[in-house]
Amino acid sequence: MARVHVNLAERSYDVVVESGLLGHAGAAIDQTRLSGRRAAVISDERVARLHSEGLLASLNAAGCRPSLHVIPAGEASKTMAQAEALCREMIRAGHDRRSLVVALGGGVVGDLAGFVAAIFFRGIPLVQIPTTIVAQVDSSVGGKTGVNVGEGKNLLGCFHQAQLVLVDPETLRTLPQREFCEGFAEAIKHAAIRDAAMLDELAALDPESREVPAELIARNIAIKARIVEADEHETRGIRALLNFGHTIGHGIEAAVPYGQMLHGEAIALGLRAALFLSERHCKLAPQAGLVVLGLLEKYHLPLVLEETIATATIMEKLARDKKFAAGRIRFVLLNAPGNAYVSDVVTEADLRDAIQHLRGKPG
């Protein structure tokens, strides 16, 4: 078992990483201050079919008296309408402020279920059980919840920290190959901004094996945990480091219909753009950028932007991005692997150049 403590004073919690943990989730919850609460399990159709039976049995054994609430799989479910529907389902199932929400699934489920937990009866406890790489190393930790609107991704939401995160690497074996690989964009991002040695460890993994050591997942989570501890609500500029690759990546993701491009695929393109601008503005060594690009390629992530995705559309989405402060662009650049910082030197012209750079092949 690997354990990462997220130290946020009265909002502190543990992230537990252990193979087979899903089947013991009820016991893990019972050992915390959440013991005795009813559980509303929120999942999507695909994950519920694979993993809900064992989880529900475990919760029942622990006295949590769970109800299961299933949403359609995919980004299109991250809406205010779906959040309202879930809240109403939970009310009809008899849940109240003494209940807790258990999010079982990937980033979409985690973001949506976290938002529901934040607003249901003005806020009830949340347990995250992430089942994808991107959710395990990134979105399940840090307290960001949200839903999408037509103008952009995650523009409506709030901070609502989980009270426990349970990570079972065995769930990764059930992922389609594309979804397994897309999560590594976030893992690679964490290594690039804070732990250069981890880049070599990620390179040593076999994407086809589906075996990811619990210790490596925990170390990746710890990178985000330390940043969140230093800047929980992204007011000091430290947490913004986690946005490396996300400014242009989110713009690309929002420029196509939801679900057409997976989050990690868009972030991979955003990482390539950020590396390009890092070479331009802070003299990042080209060879260092090639190491990161090689890793993205190893995990079958896209590095070339399709011509059908217009630059003007991406720029329009960027203008609404939360990373713009008082009209200025706050862009994360990389001095060297493991050393990222937030810059305000990147211009709109730079962004356009970076997007155009993505239309050519690397190398």
Q: Is 246 a catalytic residue?
A: yes
Closest Cα partner for 119 from 95, 82, 79, 84? 84
Closest Cα partner for 42 from 69, 2, 24, 10? 69
Interhelix angle 263-282/348-357, rounded to 10 degrees, is 120
Q: Is 243 a catalytic residue?
A: yes
Listed in sequence order, the DSSP H helices in 206-320 are 214-230, 246-254, 263-282, 286-298, 311-319
φ and ψ of 205, to 5 deg: -75, 155
User: Which of 263, 272, 322, 330 is flagged as catalytic?
Assistant: 263
Q: Is 189 a catalytic residue?
A: no
CB atoms inside a 10 Å sphere around CB 195: 17
Q: How far apart are CA 23 and CA 29, in angstroms?
A: 12
Q: Is 234 a catalytic residue?
A: yes
Q: Is 42 left (phi over 0), alpha (psi -120 to 50) or beta?
A: beta
User: Which of 239, 317, 323, 330 is flagged as catalytic?
Assistant: 239
User: Which of 189, 190, 246, 322 is flagged as catalytic?
Assistant: 246
User: Which of 160, 224, 272, 323 is flagged as catalytic?
Assistant: 224
* β-bridge partners, 126: 101
Q: Is 60 a catalytic residue?
A: no
Pairing label, strands 100-105, 126-130: parallel
User: Which of 10, 122, 307, 361 is flagged as catalytic?
Assistant: 122
CB atoms inside a 10 Å sphere around CB 203: 13
User: Which of 38, 46, 69, 144 is flagged as catalytic?
Assistant: 144
Structure tokens at 59: 């919760």
Q: Is 190 a catalytic residue?
A: no
Q: Is 160 a catalytic residue?
A: no
Q: How far apart are CA 72 and CA 112, in angstroms?
A: 12
User: Which of 186, 232, 253, 265 is flagged as catalytic?
Assistant: 186
User: Which of 37, 95, 250, 322 is flagged as catalytic?
Assistant: 250
Q: Specify the DSSP element, H or E, that contains 361.
A: none
Q: How far apart are CA 103 and CA 113, in angstroms?
A: 6
User: Which of 179, 182, 234, 253 is flagged as catalytic?
Assistant: 234
Q: Is 153 a catalytic residue?
A: no
Structure tokens at 260: 């057409």
User: Which of 243, 253, 317, 323 is flagged as catalytic?
Assistant: 243
Q: Is the dihedral of CA 189, 192, 194, 195 positive or negative?
A: positive
Enumerate the active-site residues. 122, 144, 186, 224, 234, 239, 243, 246, 250, 263
